[in-house]
Structure 1
C-alpha cells in the first residue's frame, strides 16, 4: 500500500504529539514519530526504513538554512553566556528592578520589547527571553507565562510587519505585486491582531486559565520553572559586579547587525532598495552574520575594558554551546519529522487535493482555509510550508486585486500562524521555550487555551469576512466573539470560586 498523499501522511506528527503530551518527554516522542514516518514510507520494510531514517537526518542537517540556524543558535548561546559572565545581565536586572515595580510592568516591558524586535521570529524569541527572564523572575512570573508572551510577540508580530523575514516569505509565494498584496492582508490578519489584544488583556487583568493558573500560583511561591528546568543555569550565576552597558550595547549591536546582515543578503549594498532587499533576503544567513559580528564586538568591548580575561571569554564558548543543546536536539528532530511529513509523505498535497475536490461555498472559504491552514501547520510544525501549499490555491481561485483574494490569503496566513503557535513540533514554539528557558511541554500546554480562544474568534470573523467582505464588520465580529468567550470564562471562574 502506498501511504504518500493519503490521510496516513498525518499519522507521524499525531503520534509524536500524543506521545509527548502523554509522557511529557519530547525527544523520544519526536523520534517515535520519525520512526513511524519512515516505516510508512518504506512500507514497513525495516532495512529500507533505517536507510531512509539516516538519509533524512543527513539531508536535513546538510541544508544551508538549517546549518545557518544552528550556527545562529550556538553563537547566540555564547553571546548570552558572555553577557551573564560579564555581569551585564545582573546589572540590567538590578536597573530594571528599580524602574519596574510589578509583575504586570515586567510583562508589559517584555511585550513591548517583543513588538520592537519584529524582523525575525527566531531572533525575537531568543533575544527577548534572555534579556527579560531575570526581570520577570524578580517579580515571580512563571517561565510559562514569559514563554507565552514571547511566542505571542514573535510570529504574530512578524506576520503583520512589512519589513520582516516573514513578509519576504509571503511575498515570494504570491503572484503579481506580492508585497502590496501582503500589505493588504494585514488588516484582515485576525489571528495576529487578536493575539496582541489577548496578550495585553492577559497581562492587564491577570487572566490565568487552564495549566497557566497552576504555573503562576507555583511562581508566586518561588518556583518559576514549575519543578522542571531542563536548561543548565550555570551561566545564570552572578559572576561579576558588571555594568548595564555590557548587556545593552551588545543587544543593540545584535539587533542592528542582524538587520544589516539580512538586507546585505538581499542585495541592498548591491543597489537593491530596502523593501526589495528584505523581500529577497536570506534571513538565517543574515542572522549568522549579525551574531558573528556581535561576538567580535563583545570580544573587543570586554577585553579592552578588562571586564573579562581572554581565558574567561574562551570558557564561555563551550558553556554557551551547552545551553543550546536541548533546543538544538528538539529542533533537529522537528525538522526531520517535518521533512518526512511534508516533503516525502506529502501531507500538504493530500490536503490540497481534498480542498480542490470539496465543493465549498466561496462565502465560507476563508473560514475553511483558516481551519485547514491551522491544522496543516499544527501537524507539520511549519507555517511557511503551509503558506507554500495553500497560497497558490487561493491565487488560482480569485482574480488578482479582488477583495476575496486578500481575505482568503489573510485567512491562510492567520491559520498557519495559529497552527504554528500551538504545535509542539513548531520551530517557533521551540524557540520561545528556549528563550524563556521553560520546559517545552509546559509552554505548549499553558499556551494552548489562549490560542484556541483566539482561534474560535477568528473563525467567526472569517465567516463574516466571507459573507460581507467588509473589514469593519469582520474586525467587530471577531473582537466581540473574543469578548464573549472571555466573559463566559470569567463568569465560570467566579462561579467555581463562589461554590
Structure 2
C-alpha cells in the first residue's frame, strides 16, 4: 500500500470527516485507524500494534524520550498557565484599556497584529502562540472574532518564517538546498545566496501577506468569516460558545483592579528574550555563524525554558498583587494554575493525534506518491513552477507538514532542473516552498494550524473553515503568477502579475458589509 494511490485514503478520510463533522479527535482517530489498517494489510492485531507504536513514538522513540514533542507540549501547557495568571494579575484588562486609547479602529487592531506576526519570525510555533497572547486583549476589545485573529496569526507566521534566513525554517531549507547543489554540482552560488534569490519568487508569501492587510484595511470578510465577524460586531460574542476553544478558561477567574500593563508585557518579553537566548545557547558552537547557530538550535528546548522564565515572572507579579497590594486572594493560585492547564488540554490532545497521523502517513509514503506524479510528468517547462506549486500544496495539505513537503520536493525540483534546464532550479524550488506553505495553511492536521487557533483562542475547525477562502484566494493569485513566471522566465513578470491581481481585489466593490464599528472606538 505504501507509495500508491491507496496511501491517499487516510488523509482523505481524516480531512473529509473533520470538515463534515467538525469533531477533530474522532476524525483524526479514523484517519489513524485507516492508515494503520493499510500498513498492516488488514491484519487487526498488527493494526493495534502500529497504532500503539505511532502514539508511543510521540513520547518515546529509538530508545529515548522524544524531547522535541514533549517540550512543545509542556510549552503549550506553560503558556496556558501564564495566560491565566496574566489575567488574574490584571494585565489583560490593563493592556486592553491602554491599547484602546491608542488603537482606535478595528483595522488598526488587525494591522498591529499583522506587524507583530511579521516581527516575530524566528519560529512559527513561537510566532503563533506569542502573537496571540499579545494581540488578543486588543482584538477582543475591538470586537474582532477569534477566527479572524487566528487567520491573521496563521498568515503571518509560516509565510514570514519561510523567507527569513535567520529562522528555524530558513536554516532547514538552506540545509536541503545545500545537499541539492552538492548532488548536481552547482558551484556558481551558495545555498544562502539561492535562498535570498528565491525570496521574491515565493509568490504565495507575498499574496498571503498582502491579503491580510487588504482584509484589514477594507474590512473584507467573505465565506464563513463573514458569519463570525457579524456575530462579533453585533453581539460582542467572539467565538461560538458551544464549541471547544483552546486557551479559554471554563469559569471566569478573578482579576486584579490594580494590575498594570507591565503584568502582561514583562512575562511575554521575558519569554521572547529567554527563548532567543536559549536558541543561541543550544545551537552555539565555536566558529559557527549566526545562521548555523539558529540552524542547530533546539527550538523545543528553547521554548520550554523560555516559557518557564515567563511563568516565573507571572508568578512574581501574582505575589505582588496578592501579598503586597492585596488586590486578589492568594488562595486562587492553585485554581488559576489548574484552569490554565485545563484551557490548553484540547490543543495538546489534538496535537498528539495530529502527530500520530502525520507519522503514519509518512510511513505510507503519501508525499512520495504525489511527488512521483511531478517527476513522471512531461509537461512543457513553463508549466513546471505552477505544477510544483500545486503538488507541494497537495502534499502539505494531505500530510499536515510543510517541512515534509520541502524534504520530498526540493530534491525532486533539483532533479527536474538538472534534466530540463538548470536555469529554472530556483523558480522550481521557490514554487515548492510557496505551495507547501499554502497546503499547510489549509490543513486541519497541520501543527501550525492547530497552534495558530490555540494562540488566538479559536476553535480549530472554525479557524480552518474561515481561513480556507482567503488561502485559496492567495493561492489562485500565486498560481497565475507562477504560470507567467514559468513561461516568461521573469521573476518581475510573475510578481507584477501578483501585484495587479491584488490591486484588483483591493478595489473590488463590497456588498452588504457592515462597517458601523470600523471607524470609531468601541466603548
**Normalised by the size of structure 1, how large is the TM-score?**
0.93
Query: Match for 2:133 among 114, 130, 134?
Result: 130
Instruction: Say whether 1:189 aligns with 2:202.
Output: yes
Instruction: Say whether 1:264 aligns with 2:281.
Output: yes
Shift of 1:280: 2.1
Shift of 1:405: 1.5
Instruction: Say whether 1:36 aligns with 2:34.
Output: yes
Structure 2 Cα separation of the partners of residues 486 and 429 of structure 1: 26
Counterpart of 1:169? 172
Counterpart of 1:366? 385
SS at match of 1:433: helix
Counterpart of 1:178? 191
RMSD over aligned CA atoms reads 2.3
Question: Contact (CA 8 Å) 1:85, 1:235: kept in 2 or not?
Answer: no
Shift of 1:210: 0.9
Query: Match for 1:289 among 305, 330, 345?
Result: 305
Shift of 1:58: 0.3
Structure 2 Cα separation of the partners of residues 141 and 65 of structure 1: 34
Structure 2 Cα separation of the partners of residues 433 and 337 of structure 1: 19
Counterpart of 2:185? none
Shift of 1:315: 4.3
Shift of 1:311: 5.6
Query: Match for 2:444 among 424, 429, 436?
Result: 424
Shift of 1:403: 4.4
Question: Contact (CA 8 Å) 2:89, 2:317: kept in 1 or not?
Answer: no
Structure 2 Cα separation of the partners of residues 9 and 39 of structure 1: 11
Q: Do the aligned partners of residues 247 and 235 (structure 1) sit closer, same or farther apart at CA in structure 2, a change above 3 Å counting?
A: farther
Question: Contact (CA 8 Å) 1:453, 1:485: kept in 2 or not?
Answer: no
Structure 2 Cα separation of the partners of residues 76 and 337 of structure 1: 25
Q: Do the aligned partners of residues 309 and 183 (structure 1) sit closer, same or farther apart at CA in structure 2, a change above 3 Å counting?
A: farther
Counterpart of 2:408? 389
Q: Which runs of 5+ in 2 are unaligned?
A: 61-65, 182-189, 514-523
Structure 1 Cα separation of the partners of residues 163 and 215 of structure 2: 21
Counterpart of 1:253? 270
**Normalised by the size of structure 2, how large is the TM-score?**
0.88
Query: Match for 1:143 among 146, 155, 163?
Result: 146
Counterpart of 2:48? 50
Structure 2 Cα separation of the partners of residues 45 and 361 of structure 1: 44
Shift of 1:81: 1.6
Counterpart of 1:278? 294
Counterpart of 1:322? 342
Structure 1 segments of 4 or more deviating over 6 A?
A: 307-310
Aligned length: 489
Counterpart of 1:117? 120
SS at match of 1:240: coil
Instruction: Say whether 1:479 aligns with 2:479.
Output: no
Counterpart of 2:239? 225
Structure 2 Cα separation of the partners of residues 325 and 447 of structure 1: 23
Q: Which runs of 5+ in 1 are unaligned?
A: none
Structure 2 Cα separation of the partners of residues 226 and 316 of structure 1: 24
Shift of 1:235: 7.4
Structure 1 Cα separation of the partners of residues 47 and 107 of structure 2: 51
Q: Do the aligned partners of residues 44 and 480 (structure 1) sit closer, same or farther apart at CA in structure 2, a change above 3 Å counting?
A: same
Structure 2 Cα separation of the partners of residues 227 and 317 of structure 1: 22
Structure 2 Cα separation of the partners of residues 235 and 90 of structure 1: 17
Counterpart of 2:521? none
